[in-house]
Structure 1
Amino acid sequence: MPVDALRFGANYTPTRGWFHHWLDFDLDEVRADLDSIAALGLDHVRVFPLWPLFQPNRTLIRPRAVEQLVALVDAAAERGLDVAVDGLQGHLSSFDFLPAWTRTWHRRNVFTDPDVIAGQEAYLGTLAAALTGRPNFLGMTVGNEINQFSGTPHPDPDPVTRDQAARWLGRMLAACERGAPGRFHVHAEYDAAWYQDGHPFTPAQAARLGAATAVHSWVFNGTAQRHGPAGTATEHHAAYLIELSKAWAADPHRPVWLQEVGVPAPLIGPRHAVRFTEATLAAALDCPDLWGVTWWCSHDVSRELADFPALEYGLGLLTNDRRTKPAGAAVARIAEEWRGRAHRPAVRSTALAVDVGPAEEAPGRSVCAPGGAFFEAWAALTADGVRPAVVLAELAEDPAHLAARGITEVLRVPDVS
């Protein structure tokens, strides 16, 4: 595979028991799931140990659970699949998975309590070290959208300041690096980091800490409601987040990982699923410095499991009995088209300046959210056939910064009709 080849993968959702499969781990079932993922022509999976099951006590990281994770990674290798591992789960599909030693009678802030932080470092380092000798181990993600614990709308948040969040992320990434030096260690937030004024996890943290910037693109955030299933803003939302993230990156060619993107029904119904999939991927693949795409998710959630939000049941590329769905066939076809090809899209030479206030804090980032002035201007430019990059307003007249990114024209929001 060329060094600059795109990666195509899936977030692995086990067909038997969902992520509760760790309670009744069945390697044959896992192998069958991985066979169906590999049959799509994908090259990697992202997997999710459940934190309370792997570390049920602050000083107990269950060896058997770690062995099962290693067995999963080895089974993936046998099928030509690389593996990225999320550590602190954390939050998945509307359910929280936090160990008892952080809740109720042992209530402690997961971002600031010294004992909790030490336990998290030990846990992440243990998982990374267990996998460091596996050639198909890509690296760790600190946790899945763990920023949702830091404030509203979470019903029981762990408050944290911006500086505390940055220090916490730094320590977690360092623990991963100590466990598995030189791997692709990242952190990942849901889009409050990009869109919510005052949120303690910030665009600067996302774009400057870790080996790459991870973005999660979900159009049920108001985009599809406002623009419809086939609107330009809806079909380009993933590309928008990729380009938005680059405004804060210190490295002009920092890789961006589209770590989650999917087809949420009923906002994107069956009639539009394939079109949305193809259009989303086409727009994302037109972004320079894209590392790869990891679709959410591999398999549908079984209807035998209760209490999921309705949209969560049908997000798979494959059904719960491992049959390929139309969107899965579309992803497989696009992955095949790109196999072995270098990813070198044209530079985006026109940029739209985003003014959110000082870059580190980004106090006015709600202009970037669906319905915000910047978001709507970027979508309008895209609808007119422009390929807009994004530059911070404070750098919009910096010749060295613009030259490093290949930007030759900078527009402002008032310039966009």
Structure 2
Amino acid sequence: MRLALRMRHAPRTLRFGANYTPTRGWFHHWLDFDLDEVRADLDSIAGLGLDHVRVFPLWPVFQPNRTLIRPRAVEQLVALADAAAERGLDVNVDGLQGHLSSFDFLPAWTGTWHRRGIFSDPEVVAAQEEYLRTLAAALADRPNFLGMTVGNEINQFSDAPHPDPDRITRDQADRWLERMLAACEQGAPGRFHLHAEYDAAWYRDGHPFTVAQAARLGAATAVHSWVFNGTAQRHGPTGTATEHHAAYLIELSKAWALDPHRPVWLQEVGAPAPLIRPEHAARFTEATVANALDCPDLWGVTWWCSHDVSRELADFPELEYGLGLLTNDRRTKPAGATIARIAREWRGREHRPPVRATALAVDVGGALEAPRRSVCAPGGTFFEAWAALTADGVRPAVVLAELAEDPAHLSARGITEVLHIRELT
């Protein structure tokens, strides 16, 4: 047992990857799947020296009827994974899409005349379980299959500001996540299965998906760091809070984790224009990744996204078109060159950042519900205090207020000093 614990807590080799956005047809490529085009895309990703991709089957395409999971679509997903393996790329698969780049992709059997809650209706939930189990099982024997992510930011369907949410309680969200993760595990036992939310889970009071769920359910904590959430608007493209936003979310998540060495995956992060102008994207990328790498227990960084969205496709928010590490014709952009260099520098190295011995206590009104979690959002008292400490050269960790005087918790995390906001003002 002691050996197993030492191995679990041993320094990790960092992973660097990209969220795969196909160059031909974006995620609609599943409708006209072309393996040669996929191979060319993956060649360009592998050419950056990355080691994994996160891929996105479209839920309505793969499961167009509640009792039909299309075998051909599943075969195409496996073919994509095999093509990635040929190029030295591991694959994580997001199951329930769900939501991508401002577009919702829900099957017809969940809406309008068949409207029923995607988190609570027994038939819908059972169908989701079967879908996730089927995808995981199809890839279970592939050595390069990392595991499943339940879905991409599917929590946005549960609450405002979505225009038509399927509202649920925190307890319902707990049960839904546990069932979906169990289905992934049944399909591919022992793989790296997790879930991922957009930052309402971290920042929005009353949101049914919570930080506790993010930091305690699944094999790792997934962080999606986007500075268009008020951070860059308030602090500018080069502000401390902007360049440390990913590191902030990584450290914030650790306050809730029960395992002091739980891995945290920076699963989405990108340089959104015009808040981060194209000519500034490389600097933002460099700073964001460097600051994230200063956080212990980081599993890896997966940039959003691999390739730019084609201008032939209509109605995307303007920022979505230029987020790629590569252009739509597969040429490396400055941000791509930056990620390639960082990946090359870290290849084979152990990740051993110093422990963050100073922590800032956060009071959100209780760990499970976090009814005052908005203090953690951009402009919130805790967010701004953490950013100010960072600007002063401190490397602050985060500890829950109710654990700020718990010797065992602090010792397990290497925290020797706890600061409180009232002491800083």
* TM-score above 0.5: yes
Question: Gaps spanning 5+ residues in structure 2: where?
Answer: 1-9
Distance 2:286 2:65 in 1: 45
For 1:18, which of 26, 44, 58 is the aligned residue?
A: 26
For 1:159, which of 152, 156, 167 is the aligned residue?
A: 167
Q: Which amino acid aligns with 2:379?
A: G
Secondary structure of 2:13's match?
A: coil
Distance 1:275 1:47 in 2: 26
* Match in the other structure for 2:7: none
* Match in the other structure for 1:341: 349
- Which aligned pairs between 1:16-415 and structure 2 lie closer than 5 A? 16-415=24-423
Secondary structure of 1:139's match?
A: strand
Alignment length (residue pairs)? 416
Q: Which amino acid aligns with 2:80?
A: L
Deviations 1:126-162 (A, max 9, x none): 0000000000000000000000000100011001100
Distance 1:357 1:253 in 2: 24
1:3 positional shift: 7.1
Q: Which amino acid aligns with 2:98?
A: G
Q: What is the TM-score of this pair, normalised by structure 2?
A: 0.97
1:416 positional shift: 2.3
Q: Which amino acid aligns with 1:354?
A: V
Deviations 1:9-45 (A, max 9, x none): 0000000000000000000000000000000000000
What is the root-mean-square deviation in Å for CA atoms of aligned residues? 0.7
Question: Gaps spanning 5+ residues in structure 1: where?
Answer: none
Distance 2:172 2:207 in 1: 12
Q: Which amino acid aligns with 2:133?
A: G
1:415 positional shift: 2.1
The 8 Å contact of residues 380 and 416 in structure 1, kept in 2 or not, is answered as no
Deviations 1:53-75 (A, max 9, x none): 00000000000000000000000
Secondary structure of 1:403's match?
A: helix
Q: Which amino acid aligns with 2:30?
A: W
Secondary structure of 1:348's match?
A: coil
* Match in the other structure for 2:3: none
1:392 positional shift: 0.1
1:176 positional shift: 0.1
Q: Which amino acid aligns with 1:246?
A: K
Secondary structure of 2:18's match?
A: strand
1:270 positional shift: 2.0
Q: Which amino acid aligns with 1:24?
A: D
Distance 2:277 2:401 in 1: 38
Secondary structure of 2:48's match?
A: coil
Distance 1:129 1:330 in 2: 36
1:89 positional shift: 0.2
Deviations 1:242-297 (A, max 9, x none): 00000000000000000000000000002321111000000000000000000000
